[in-house]
Structure 1
Amino acid sequence: MIRHSGSRTARVPLTYAPRRLGLRIDDDGPATGAQAGGSGNGLAGMRERAAALGGAIAAGPRPDGGFRVDATLPFAATPKERS
């Protein structure tokens, strides 16, 4: 986060539903505009990885300022849940 935002804090609530996990990351800082460096593909890469698992990611500026990343990821039931 520090590489992409001027904010030093973030809120990361998790939600759980049967076979689905939700993750939201909110920060209040302005985007720095700085390149992160490294070999990643940023948000596009995150979206591709989530889609490969059957999930989805949406990201962008919040109307009230700051930035938000919302992810929804499926997961398989454990053997105990199946019985």
Structure 2
Amino acid sequence: MLRQVDDPESNQPQPGLSRLDALVAGVSAAGLPTTIATTGQPPSTLPPAVDLAAYRIVQEALTNSIRHAGPATATVQINYDQREISLQISDTGRGPAPSTPAGGHGLIGMRERAAAVGGALHAGPGHGGGFHVTAHLPLKATR
């Protein structure tokens, strides 16, 4: 529902964090009120692979929240420093059902996107409930 095709023949530009407001507006309209908080100073330009990976990780995390959280809210926290972008996507929902296999395809895809740019991703239930995805993506892609 929130995904867009990464088709190289598409006439659309690759999405990046500059389109995050539109993504969050769509998620909120789909029933998951979501806020964005940013700290640090974003660089004037992001490496395209890092920008795309960050956007897709947020997109997949919010899609998972819509599917699994139930009635909830979500927050996207972006922190820029000189070396990396840190993303934390959290929801206040119930998380995946116990019958949901751990590490579904969405989680695998997010981990692969982070690793492809030399970053790392952790995902799991929060201590006080909900589900949290944290990614650290270097500003200089290492792969």
Q: Same fold (TM over 0.5)?
A: yes
Q: Which structure exhibits the higher relative contact order, with contacts defined as CA atoms closer than 8 Å and separated by 6 or more residues?
A: 1
Give me the whole-angstrom Cα distance separating, in 2, the residues matched to 1:51 and 1:7: 31
Give the structure with the higher percent helix. Answer: 2
Unaligned runs of 5+ in 1: 77-83
Q: After superposition, where does 1:44-59 map in structure 2 within 5 Å?
A: 44-59=108-123
The residue that corresponds to 1:5 in the other structure is 69
SS in structure 2 of the partner of residue 25 of structure 1: strand
Matched residue pairs, number? 72
Question: If each structure's strand is expressed as a fraction of its own residues, which one has the higher value?
Answer: 1
Gaps of 5+ in 2: 1-64
Displacement after TM superposition at 1:32 (Å) = 5.0
Call closer, same or farther: CA 1:28–1:8 in 2, change over 3 Å. Answer: closer
Contact 1:7 1:27 in 2 (8 A): no
Q: Larger radius of gyration, structure 1 or 2?
A: 1
Shift in CA distance, 65/8, structure 1 to aligned 2, threshold 3 Å: closer
When the two chains are superposed, the root-mean-square deviation of aligned CA atoms in Å is 2.0
TM-score (norm 2): 0.45
TM-score (norm 1): 0.74
Select the residue among 132, 139, 142 that pairs with 1:68.
132
| Correspondence 1:26 to 2:90 | yes
